[in-house]
Amino acid sequence: MLMPHPAVLRRLVDEYEALTRSGSTEEQPHAQAQARDLAYTLCVSTGTRDVRHALETARQWLEAASASDAAIRPPTDRDPHVYA
């Protein structure tokens, strides 16, 4: 399965959580539609059928991506294997 880029996944999670946390979805039909669209996109992106599972999966993937980014860092001038 293809995995979305972590930045895209982070944006989807952040936007969905901001919409649902603010309570604006109850008052504004446009916000409800946007939350549904984000939930659908999260589900498709994570291969799940429920937004709660999609959010859980997305968070796990983002955590794994963050851990692998920390393990792979660009060399600095202080690294002994960097040639000037």
The string of pLDDT tens digits covering residues 9-35 is 999 999 999 999 877 677 788 889 999
pLDDT digits (tens, 9 = 90+) for 42-83: 999 999 999 999 999 999 999 999 887 666 666 565 655 544
Task: Please tell me the predicted confidence (pLDDT) of residue 71.
Answer: 63
Higher pLDDT, 1 or 70: 1
Q: The whole model's pTM is what?
A: 0.76
Can you tell me the distance from the alpha carbon of 24 to that of 2, in angstroms, rounded to the nearest whole number?
32
Task: State the DSSP string of 16-67.
Answer: HHHHHHHTHHHH-HHHHHHHHHHHHHHHHHHT-SSHHHHHHHHHHHHHHHHH
pLDDT band per the 50, 70, 90 thresholds, residue 84: very low
